[in-house]
Amino acid sequence: MEIPQNNGPLSKKFYRRELAKLHVELARLQRYIRINKKRVVVLFEGRDAAGKGGTIKRITEPLNPRVCRIVALSTPTERERTQWYFQRYANHLPAAGEMILFDRSWYNRAGVERVMGFCSEEEYWEFLRECPIFERMLIQNGITLIKYWFSVSAEEQERRFRRRIEDPTRKWKISPMDIESRARWTDYSRAKDQMFLHTDLPNSPWWVIEADDKRRARLNCIAHLLDQIPYSRIEIPEITLPPLQSDQGYVRPAMDTQRIVDDQFSKPEDP
């Protein structure tokens, strides 16, 4: 797929056309994963409002949720805080024939927990030592691991935050933690650089998505994801519908015996 290289945002027409093509390929990838019992883990990390959620939504749109699942864990419980750090993430790893998309992952420890002081220095450095080992174990066990970092500029993040604040349907996306993270932009930058230094490795590299243009970022990420898995082109088989069964004397119950939801959007009568 050739994505135009220019300074302006992608047109909606081009975006929709190319996204439709990628959705067909995602359906083929899903079929390949299911038939060949592959296990795939994709991590989505980045700053708040960088576009991770929107990209994940576009990936999952054409897919069966039984094959492709999203994992977005909330704050750990008191019990989970006493467990091995990676344990609650390991519980969500894929079985054969599944692809798991982590909307934020175990890298919380290298990001928000580090910056906000939710973990100790010892816990932080222990994570950086153990993380490459943990990921190597996943890969050696046959899991395909792909890691994406969505990079957004301070100016674009500011615009997106303001749009969310002004839109009552999106205001819920702004949490006190988001506001605090915005105030600590440089601290998060340093944390990200340190994380890359220890975990951007040949067997489990970080792939950076430039995300100031959301449409471009989504297309680039999906196209790259498809390239990372050498799926064979398994055609979706033709489907022939069988003839409808005869009614065999069946009579539908009267409508007034059922609770029908009122139509509240009928076109009003013209005056």
Average pLDDT, the chain: 92
Residue 237 has pLDDT above 90, yes or no: no
Please tell me the distance from the alpha carbon of residue 35 to that of residue 37, in angstroms, as a whole number: 6
Q: Is the pTM of this model over 0.75?
A: yes
pLDDT digits (tens, 9 = 90+) for 93-114: 999 999 999 999 999 999 999 9
Domains of the chain: 12-77+85-228 (3.40.50.300)
Residue 13 has pLDDT above 90, yes or no: yes
pLDDT for position 270: 55
Strands 143-151 and 98-103, sheet pairing: unpaired
DSSP conformational letter for 257: G
Give all strands of the β-sheet with 143-151 in edge-to-edge order.
68-71, 98-103, 39-46, 143-151, 206-210
Burial (CB < 10 A; 0-12, 13-18, 19+), residue 120, is: exposed
Task: Label residue 233 by pLDDT band (50, 70, 90).
Answer: confident
C-alpha span between 179 and 162 (Å, rounded)? 11
Spatial distance between the Cα atoms of 261 and 271, rounded to a whole number of angstroms: 26
pLDDT at position 30: 96
How much is the pLDDT for 201?
A: 97
Q: What is the mean pLDDT of residues 68-89?
A: 96
